[in-house]
Amino acid sequence: MTHAPAAKPGIAAFKRALDSGDFDEVADRLCALAQPPVQGLDEVRARLADPAQADAVEAMQRARWGGGDGVVARRLMRDAFARGPRWRPSSAAPPSPLPPLYPDT
């Protein structure tokens, strides 16, 4: 399932969602925090540098889809993301969505 980025990405909105939102809102806010924003939590997990954060996202996913404990998942997310997400450094520019002007022949 893909998630559209939230309208105003920001750590404060993400933390509010962790406190009082549902897991869909948490997922949307977290996807929007990535720069550039991502379309799903699989991409988020791949970009996170902190294994505890990736594990917390996985626990949240299990809770969302019926195989995990929502209370535990929310606590793991709050603990892991207390200082915000830690992203892996980006080594390459994202690919252009436009085709090349002069394709190789």
Query: And the tokens for 9?
Result: 């990405």
- Three-state DSSP state, 87: strand
The predicted-structure confidence for 36-56, as pLDDT tens digits, reads as follows 889 899 999 999 999 999 999
* Spatial distance between the Cα atoms of 3 and 91, rounded to a whole number of angstroms: 24
The predicted-structure confidence for 52-72, as pLDDT tens digits, reads as follows 999 999 999 999 998 899 999
Q: What is the pLDDT of residue 105?
A: 61
In order, the DSSP letters of 11-60 are: HHHHHHHHHHS-HHHHHHHHHHHSSS--SSHHHHHHHBS-HHHHHHHHHH
The predicted-structure confidence for 71-100, as pLDDT tens digits, reads as follows 999 999 999 999 999 999 876 566 677 777
Short-list 19, 80, 75, CA closest to 50: 80
